[in-house]
C-alpha cells in the first residue's frame, strides 16, 4: 500500500493524495509541494509551527523528549568529551576529528583569526556607543567585500575555506565591536591561545597585551572560565531551523554572498524573542533587585491581566526540560563552587528557579528554565559584559549558520524562498 495522505474538500467532495516522507528521526512529513497545483489553494501556517521548510541532516531536536543531537550525536555526550572546535569540525564534516585533524583544524583557525586592516578601520566609522550587535552585523556584511570570490564556490575545498575563515574571524570581530563600544584600543589575536581563550583575551586585555586583574588577584584566564564559555559555544552551535537559521537559508536562496547571509542571521538573532533573550534575563533580574522581591514578580507572572512575563522560561520547541539548560545548570553550580560566586543576581535566579520547578502553574504549562535563563547568569559570572551576551551567541552559532548555508547550496532542487499569503485586504 502506498505511503500517502489523502485530503478531502468537504465543499466539493474532491479528494487529493499526497506522499508521506519518512525521516530517520522525528515525525514523518506530508509532501505538499504540489498542493496548489492540485487544489488551487494554499496552506495556512502562521509561524510555520507545522511546516518542514527543508530537508537536513545536521541537527535533530525532539521537543517532547528534551533531546538535541548534532550529526546524530547526543549533546550531553559531546559537551562532556569534546571542545567547541571539535563540534565545529563535526558539523562541517559529518564526523568528529581524529587527534591529528583536531590539532590541524585548531592551528588553521588560529592563523585565520586576524582581520584585514581595512575592516579594522571600518569600526571607527560607527558611533562610539553603538551596541556591539549592530557593529557585528555590519562588519560581517562588510567582510563579503574582502572575500568577494566566495560568491561563487565550486568544490568542497572552497566550501571549507569559506566556512573556516568566518568561524575564525567572528570572535575577533565581536571583540573589536565591544572594545569600540567602550572606546578601548583593539587587541589583536594571540595565536598561542586556543579559540575560546583567545576571545576572552581580546575582550579583557590591556592595550599592551597584559591581562586585567581578576577579583582573585590573577592575571591569567582560568581553565574553568575557558571550559564554561567553550561549553556555551557548543550548546549554541546549531539548533535546527530556528528563526535566524531560517533567515540564513532564505537569504542563501537568493544567491547572496555567504557572509551576507550570516550577517542577516546575526540581525535576526538580535531580537529579544531569540538570541537577545539572555540579555533580557539579566536585565529582569536586575529589575527585580532583591530576593525578597521574587514572590511579588512571580505573582505578576501568573496574573493574566498583567503583561509582565518571566524571561528565560519555556521554549517554542522543548515541551520538556531544555537539554542545554540541564548542562548549563550543572555548569552554573560548578562555577558557584570553583569561583566562589554568591552574587545577588545568582541568589535571585536560584529562588526563581526553585519556585518555577515546584510550582504547579509553571509545571502544568511546561515553563521550565531554558538555556537563556542559565547562560545569562553564567556569562555574568564570567564577567562578560551584558552587551556581549548575544555576540557570544553569534560566535557559537556561526558554525551552524554556515553549515546550514553549505547544505542548502549543495541541494540540487532548491528554489528561492517565496511563502504565500492569505489576503484579506480590499
Distance CA 96, CA 50 (A): 32
For residue 173, tell me if it sits in a domain: no
Q: Which domain holds residue 8?
A: 1-43
Domain contains 11: yes
Other CB atoms closer than 10 Å to residue 273's CB: what's the count?
A: 9
State the pLDDT at residue 216. 47
User: Looking at the 3D structure of the chain, how many domains does it have?
Assistant: 1
Q: Is residue 36 part of a domain?
A: yes
Q: What proportion of the chain, given as a percentage, has pLDDT over 90?
A: 67
- 269-301: per-residue pLDDT in tens? 998 888 888 888 888 999 999 999 999 999 999
Model confidence over 228-272: pLDDT tens digits?
999 999 999 999 999 999 999 999 999 999 999 999 999 999 988
In a domain, 24, yes or no: yes
Residue 179: what pLDDT? 95
State the pLDDT at residue 299.
93
Report which secondary-structure segment, H or E, holds 29. Answer: strand 29-30
Active-site positions read 315, 372
Q: How large is the average pLDDT for residues 381-385?
A: 89
- 1 pLDDT band, cuts 50/70/90, is low
> Is residue 341 one of the residues assigned to a domain?
no
Which helix H or strand E contains 336, and what residues bound it?
helix 323-338
Spatial strand order in the sheet of 4-9: 4-9, 14-21, 29-30
Q: Which of 210, 189, 208, 211 is nearest to 199 (CA)?
A: 189
Q: How confident is the model at residue 186 (pLDDT cuts 50, 70, 90)?
A: very high
Q: Are 238 and 400 in contact (CB under 8 A)?
A: yes
pLDDT of residue 342: 60
Residue 7 lies in a domain: yes
In a domain, 394, yes or no: no
CATH number at residue 20: 2.20.28.60
Instruction: Determine which of 67-76, 77-86, 203-212 has the lowest per-residue pLDDT on average.
Output: 203-212
Q: Rounded to the nearest 5 degrees, what angle is found at the Cα of 304, between the Cα atoms of 355 and 286?
A: 50
CA distance 253 to 415: 6
Query: Per residue in 324-382, pLDDT tens?
Result: 999 999 998 888 878 766 678 888 988 998 988 888 998 888 888 888 888 888 898 88
Residue 61 resides in a domain: no
Amino acid at each position: 500500500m502506498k505511503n500517502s495522505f489523502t485530503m478531502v474538500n468537504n465543499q466539493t467532495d474532491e479528494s487529493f493524495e499526497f506522499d508521506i516522507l519518512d525521516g530517520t528521526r522525528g515525525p514523518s512529513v506530508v509532501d505538499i509541494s504540489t498542493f496548489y497545483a492540485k487544489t488551487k489553494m494554499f496552506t495556512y501556517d502562521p509561524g510555520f509551527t507545522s511546516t518542514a521548510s527543508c530537508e537536513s541532516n545536521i541537527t535533530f531536536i525532539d521537543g517532547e523528549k528534551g533531546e538535541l543531537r548534532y550529526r546524530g550525536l547526543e549533546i550531553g555526550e559531546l559537551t562532556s568529551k569534546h571542545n567547541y572546535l571539535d563540534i565545529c569540525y563535526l558539523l562541517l564534516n559529518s564526523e568528529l576529528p581524529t587527534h591529528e585533524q583536531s590539532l590541524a583544524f585548531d592551528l588553521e583557525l588560529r592563523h585565520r583569526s586576524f582581520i584585514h586592516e581595512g575592516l579594522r578601520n571600518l569600526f571607527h566609522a560607527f558611533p562610539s556607543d553603538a551596541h556591539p550587535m549592530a557593529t557585528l552585523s555590519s562588519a560581517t556584511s562588510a567582510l563579503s567585500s574582502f572575500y568577494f570570490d566566495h560568491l561563487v564556490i565550486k568544490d568542497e575545498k572552497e566550501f571549507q575555506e569559506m566556512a573556516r575563515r568566518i568561524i575564525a574571524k567572528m570572535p575577533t570581530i565581536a571583540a573589536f565591536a565591544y572594545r569600540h563600544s567602550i572606546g578601548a584600543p583593539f587587541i589583536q589575536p594571540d595565536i598561542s591561545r586556543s579559540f575560546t581563550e583567545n576571545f576572552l583575551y581580546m575582550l579583557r586585555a590591556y592595550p599592551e597585551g597584559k591581562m586585567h586583574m581578576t577579583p582573585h588577584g590573577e592575571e591569567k584566564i582560568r581553565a574553568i572560565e575557558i571550559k564554561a564559555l567553550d561549553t556555551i559555544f557548543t550548546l549554541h552551535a546549531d539548533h535546527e531551523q530556528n528563526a535566524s537559521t531560517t533567515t540564513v537559508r532564505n537569504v542563501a536562496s537568493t544567491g547572496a554572498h555567504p557572509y551576507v547571509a550570516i550577517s542577516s542571521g546575526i540581525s535576526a538573532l538580535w531580537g529579544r524573542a531569540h538570541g537577545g533573550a539572555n540579555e533580557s534575563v539579566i536585565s529582569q533580574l536586575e529589575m527585580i533587585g532583591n530576593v525578597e522581591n521574587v514572590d511579588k514578580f512571580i505573582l505578576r507572572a501568573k496574573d493574566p491581566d498583567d503583561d509582565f512575563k518571566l524571561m528565560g522560561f519555556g521554549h517554542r520547541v522543548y515541551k520538556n526540560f531544555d537539554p542545554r539548560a540541564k548542562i548549563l545548570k550543572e555548569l552554573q553550580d560548578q562555577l558557584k563552587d570553583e569561583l566562589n560566586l554568591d552574587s545577588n543576581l545568582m541568589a535571585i535566579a536560584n529562588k526563581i528557579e526553585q519556585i518555577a520547578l515546584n510550582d504547579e502553574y509553571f509545571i502544568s504549562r511546561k515553563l521550565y528554565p531554558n538555556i537563556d535563563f542559565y547562560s545569562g547568569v553564567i556569562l555574568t559570572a564570567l564577567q562578560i559584559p551584558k552587551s556581549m551576551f548575544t555576540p557570544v551567541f553569534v560566535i557559537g552559532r556561526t558554525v551552524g549558520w554556515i553549515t546550514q548555508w553549505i547544505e542548502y547550496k549543495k541541494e540540487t532542487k532548491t528554489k528561492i524562498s517565496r511563502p504565500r499569503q492569505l489576503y484579506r485586504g480590499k
